[in-house]
Chains A and B, each alone.
Chain A
Amino acid sequence: MTMRDIEKKLEQKIERAEELLEREAKQVGEAIEREAVQIEQAIEHGVERVEEVLEHELERPTVPKAAVLYGDIVYWGTILGSFVTVLGSILAFVTELNYLEPELVLSAIWEGRGVDEVWEQAGGKRPDGHWYVEHLTRGDGLTMAGIALGVFVVVPGMLASTWHLLRERQRLFAGFGLTAAGITVAAMFA
């Protein structure tokens, strides 16, 4: 084989290699292009979705502060009242610190006695007012105070909510709230 033949063969091989490289580069380029299109589509879809969510979030009505205030005060007040009632029930049952004898109260109730008889039989007089306030260190007094606290919490709840409605210039509804709170307080002392 002459030097000329070797050169020719080498040239052919180089040409072939260049062809292959060109084809490979074309394929890689096409693949990259395809991926770029996919990524672009994914980004577009993501942006659309984010816009959609943002739009919904902007559409979502804000909950009035007056409502949140009322709900929170009443919820936590009721939970607090429940814990006081639990404490009072334990005191009433495991100690003798009671205004009325618990065994006589429960027996009289179970027998079907009327309210007057229950109080008389259990060693007290039927009250006319907030009797438990003077007996907070006794089991039944504390139990009643826990229930009363749970009932009372609607008043501060309504007042706080009313105050906020007034700040929002919703005078008519603040008036309704104030009236409802006022009647409830009046019922406590009627």
Chain B
Amino acid sequence: MWELARRVPELTFLVVAIAVAYAAMAMFSAVEHTEVLTANEMWLILAASFLFSTLIAIVAVLGGVGGGVLFTPVMLGFTNVDTLLIRSTGLVVAMFSGLVSSGPFMRKGLADVRLVFYCAVPIIVGAILGAKAAIVMADAMGATGDAIVRLMLGALLIFIAVMFVVGGSKTEYPVPRSLDGLSRRLGMRSTYWEESLAKPVTYHANRVLPGGLLFLAVGFIGGFFGLGGGWAVVPVLNLVMDVPLKVAAASSGVLLAIGNAAAIWPYITKGALIALFAAPWMLGQVVGGILGAHILARIQAGFVRKILIVLLFLTSIKLVVRGAETLFGFDVPLV
């Protein structure tokens, strides 16, 4: 831990600044009690949000997904917070660990900047359309819209969890049998240094058109539900576009940050992202994102992945039940 603190001084400064900030907020709070919450409870919510966000970021980095996949369903399933606020904050959670990991991934040559820019265009367009659709639906449908969102998200989570279970077919270094015409013309050929093999690995992105169309859909779903798209970006890059797994994982974080950066502006300008509520989640993602990237090599990622699958299944059940209860007016005990 000390070694990490010395090697990444900016992380140390940030953690100290956050600790001082929360201590000052506890000791010199000018916030008054309300009928709903005491000043201490408000502080506790913010501090717990920061810690929970840090944990989510570490698990998300180790599990190879964006933090939004955990944050949004858990908050929608287990709290009363408005769905639009959760989804806008979910985009913050989904993008900030990707933002801080962009530096190391790009410097190591693991993320491919040309591939990222090509895929960024459809994912941004999809994400903005998704965010706009979410705001329109929330304004037009109210509680019914909330219930539909919970129900659809529950179903989507079951799909994602199943995808993780059967996702063992990913190939580390896919070799395309033949390149399609457009891929050949775009010439997205690149080489990166594979540390584990101690030699360079060359790859050629393939099926760029279907890949681009899939990114449009991934962007829309991520922007609409506030999930980000980490759960889908890696499989599309690896399984559809024949990009090596390591490059796919690194490019996924960078791509998500770009896609969500565009999707989040409609939420910000329409007041659907509340600064005080989102701030601890953002800070937790930055700290957890850096920590997760550094401890990645020392922990068995497979174990974290199993925890992630269990969490996704449990949360999906809760979401489906909550959505169905509101929509059809019945009550399911014990869930």
Contact = CB atoms under 8 A, between A and B. Distances in A.
Interface of A: 56, 59-64, 66-68, 70-72, 74-76, 78-79, 82-83, 85-90, 92-96, 100, 102-115, 118-119, 126-132, 140-141, 143-144, 146-148, 150-155, 157-158, 161-162, 165, 170, 172-173, 176-177, 179-180, 183-184, 187-190
B220 interface: no
Given A74-B102, A113-B82, A190 B14 contact: no
A63 B108 contact: yes
A115 B137 CA distance: 13
B106 A67 contact: yes
Interface stretch (B120-128, B156-164, B238-246): B120-128
Interface stretch (B26-34, B59-67, B171-179, B307-315): B26-34
B34 A104 contact: yes
B272 to A, nearest CB: 5
B18 interface: yes
B30 A59 contact: no
A84 B227 CA distance: 25
Q: Is the interface of A mostly helix, strand, loop or mixed?
A: helix
Contacts, number: 260
A170 B21 CA distance: 46
Contact of B275 (A72, A104, A140): A140
Contacts of A112: 80-82
Interface of B: 10, 14, 17-18, 21, 24-25, 28-37, 39, 42-43, 45-46, 80-82, 84-85, 92, 95-96, 99-100, 102-109, 111-114, 117-118, 120-121, 124-125, 128, 138, 142, 186, 191-193, 198-200, 254, 257-258, 261-266, 268-280, 282-283, 286
Given A61-B109, A74-B99, A154-B258, A179 B272 contact: no
Which 8 residue pairs spanning A and B have beta carbons closest together? A71-B106, A75-B103, A112-B80, A63-B109, A144-B275, A107-B36, A67-B113, A176-B117
A151 B268 contact: yes
Nearest to B105: A71
Contacts of B99: 74-75, 78, 150, 153-154
B128 A180 contact: no
Contacts of A78: 96, 99-100, 286
Nearest to B17: A86
B242 to A, nearest CB: 18
A79 B99 CA distance: 10
B101 to A, nearest CB: 9
